[in-house]
Amino acid sequence: MNASRPAVALSRPHLARRLLAEFLGTALLVTIVVGSGIAAASLSPDDVGLQLLENSLATALGLAVLILMFGPVSGAHFNPVVTLVDWMIGARAAAGLPLRDVGPYIAAQVLGGSAGAVLANVMFELPSQLSSTDRVTGGHLVAEVVATGGLVLLIFSLARTSQGSVTAAAVGAYIGAAYWFTSSTSFANPAVTVARVFSDTFAGIAPGSVPPFILMQLLGGALGLALVLVLYPTAARAADDVVVPHSVDAKL
């Protein structure tokens, strides 16, 4: 199996196409998160629980669709933590994302996410202004470790199956569930965290809350990586298939 990995790495879509997929995928993900949050606050102004249900359902379904849409091109990381873990775990087996692509991937994700927040504001005719929602509490920070660690463990354990449709559904379901079982409503993504600064709405986060959130997300990613290596010692062989397989074939 190891012998086949270099050939797969050479057959990835061109970097420009992968970056465009990461930009668009992260942009649309944030558009879904922020847009559905705005709609939920408008449709159910007096019921926060219903607002969260509407927001989480839209995000879970939308994320699954986006993974299927862009995964064959870039792997559908849409998340700097996933990109970093993919590089770190893949380096052990000469697989996964090469170091030279890590920075461009993360830049595309952050820029795409920010564009997605602005787009959501435009569609609902709201100004793009910094959020005033302070989210930093001890419980929220612990929740971000848990949410991000669980996400990394899920993605890299499922990568071994190379079944994109299963992974898309499972990741969407996990994020949808994590909205409810974490006190932070599961940001679990530095690019999405930065992007949500630009929307002073139900889904926003104040700039001052961003650094501790991202720090906890990175810690969660490290915890998830450690669990993957312990539970699935051969997971590095599947690093090329994170989040879903994305090698070039005749159809691409």
Round to whole Å and give the CA distance between 216 and 233. Answer: 25
**Tokens encoding 111:** 């820029």
Burial 218-246 (b: 16+ CB within 10 A, else e): bbbbbbbbebbbeebeebbbbbbbbbbbb
Radius of gyration of the chain (CA): 17
**Tokens encoding 210:** 């961003």
Q: What are phi and psi of 29, to 5 degrees?
A: -60, -45
* pLDDT score for 170: 96
**Tokens encoding 19:** 């970056």
| Structural domains present in the chain | 2-241 (1.20.1080.10)
* pLDDT score for 237: 78
* pLDDT score for 5: 43
- Mapped onto helix, strand or coil, the DSSP state of residue 188 is coil
- Please state, rounded to an integer, the average pLDDT across all residues of the chain: 91
Q: Amino acid identity of 197?
A: V
pLDDT tens-digit series, residues 209-242 = 999 999 999 999 999 999 999 999 888 777 777 8
* pLDDT score for 57: 98
Total residues found in the chain within this entry: 252
Round to whole Å and give the CA distance between 73 and 46. Answer: 42
- The residue to which tokens 């504001």 are assigned: 121
pLDDT tens-digit series, residues 70-114 = 999 999 999 999 999 999 998 877 778 899 999 999 999 999 999
60 pLDDT higher than 90 = yes
- Residue ranges of alpha helices (H) inside 75-123 are 80-90, 99-123
